[in-house]
Amino acid sequence: MAFGFWEALLILAIVVIIFGAGKLPTVMGDLAKGIKTFKAGLKDEESVDKPSAVREPEKLPPPQSEPPKTA
C-alpha cells in the first residue's frame, strides 16, 4: 500500500491541530535534532564495534577426564 498525498495531508492536519501552527517549527526542529543525534550515535557505535569485531576465541579450561568405570 502506497503512502499517498491525501494520507500525508491528513497527518499534517492532525499535527497542526495537536501542536498548533506556532509550535510546529519548534517541534520539527527538535525532531530534526533528534534524528541527527541518532544518526551520529549509530556512526559512533559502528566505529567502536569495528576493532572489537576481531576477538580472540575464549580459552576454555582443559576437559577433566574421569577414570574409566569397570562394570
- Whether residue 2 is contained in a domain is answered as no
- Whether residue 17 is contained in a domain is answered as yes
> What's the domain count of the chain?
1
Residue 55's pLDDT is what?
60
- Whether residue 21 is contained in a domain is answered as yes
Say how far apart CA 9 and CA 37 lie, in whole Å: 27
pTM: 0.44
- Whether residue 16 is contained in a domain is answered as yes
CA 1 to chain centre: 25
- Whether residue 35 is contained in a domain is answered as yes
Query: Residue 31 is part of which domain span?
Result: 10-45
- Whether residue 26 is contained in a domain is answered as yes
| pLDDT tens digit sequence for 8-52 | 999 989 988 888 888 888 888 998 999 999 999 988 877 765 555
